[in-house]
Amino acid sequence: MSPRRFLFTVSLLAFLLSACAALPQDNTPPPANTVAVPSPTPTLIPTESPTATAAPLPLVPNFERIAIVVLENKEFGTVVQSPQMPYFNELAKSYTLLTEYYAVTHPSLPNYLALIGGDTFGITFNCESCFIDAQTLPDQIEASGRTWKTYQEDMPSPCYPRPYAGNYAIKHNPFLYFKPIRLDTARCERSVVPFTQLSADLAAGALPNFIFITPNLCNDAHDCDINIADDWLKTLMGQLQPALDADGKPYLIIITWDEGQGNRSCCGLPQEAGGRIATILISPQAQNGFQDDTPYTHYSALKTIEQAWGLSFLGRAADESNALIIAPWK
């Protein structure tokens, strides 16, 4: 190569190297007149937080104590709005009145058996020695760790075995018809007691969880006028309700009648049954001044007690036709 061509070649290579060095590198900022395009930002999709929901209310309140008072042989229309029962009607107006509640049959005894045993056990008359070997509400109550007593007016002594004593009648004391109670002396004497024991238990603050009160044959309106039953009920409630209120725990008092004077029925009962009877629910957990026209029976009352305490349904209380009492509760 001639010296001239050599010099030209060297000069060209030097130019090319300097031109490459002048080119911008990847890490140099863009020219001032260049608009930077931001990289896309990932879009966050919000996730829904679980919404806190209140626990559903139980169908029936879990009462600390439940008391039943059973009066005798009067149809709904005989007592509701009767001027002879002003106190009963005051309660019916102030608390919850069940306007379509029915006894299950005639006469008295099978209705009492139904209230604590869930069946009439084929008994169709006021027998005095037709004892039954079956489970009852008291058995369930004891198994749940709760206590019970029936207070029987004019019964001379605990578990008095004879059919009558003055104005006391065994046909209104269903507990003594069930062998598991009747034949257990200690259990029977502890829980099947004269009505006079109620005052002592009230004074001592020793009421059981389940209270079943039977007036005598006069005070329950069986043998005497309904105004006498009304006066007796007012005296009882003047002692019982303040004691339950003072305790401050949920309670329920059921005031009902064993049967009516007619044969009206509902709820899968025979076409002619025990009649329509007035039943009142008194409880801080029940609506005041409320009337519930749902058809109910004595089996419904048993079912509702068992539901309140988480017990299984006995006998006919398990039938769907015997509705659970749920409308009155707040």
pLDDT for the residue 122: 98
**Ramachandran area for residue 68 (φ above 0: left; ψ -120 to 50: alpha; else beta):** beta
**Ramachandran area for residue 301 (φ above 0: left; ψ -120 to 50: alpha; else beta):** alpha
pLDDT for the residue 15: 47
pLDDT for the residue 56: 74
pLDDT for the residue 224: 98
Residues 136-156 have pLDDT tens digits of 999 999 999 999 999 999 999
DSSP assignment of 176-233: GGBHHHHT-HHHHHHHEEETHHHHHHHHHT---SEEEEE--TTTTSSSS-HHHHHHHH
- Known catalytic membership, residue 223: yes
Of 212, 173, 198, 170, whose CA–CA distance to 69 is shortest? 212
Query: Tokens for 56?
Result: 């559903």
pLDDT for the residue 278: 98
- The one catalytic residue among 223, 225, 231, 258: 223
Q: How many CB atoms lie within 10 A of CB 201?
A: 16
Cα(317)–Cα(324) distance, integer angstroms:
9
Residue that has been written with the tokens 């069930």 in this structure: 178
Q: What is the dihedral of CA 227, 232, 235, 241, to 10 degrees?
A: -100
| Regions of the chain where pLDDT drops below 50 | 1-12, 14-17, 19-24, 26-38, 42-49
pLDDT for the residue 53: 59
pLDDT for the residue 66: 99
Q: How many angstroms from the chain centroid is the CA of residue 224? A: 34
pLDDT for the residue 24: 46
Q: Please give the CATH superfamily to which domain 65-292+304-318 belongs.
A: Alkaline Phosphatase, subunit A (3.40.720.10)
pLDDT for the residue 51: 55
pLDDT for the residue 3: 41
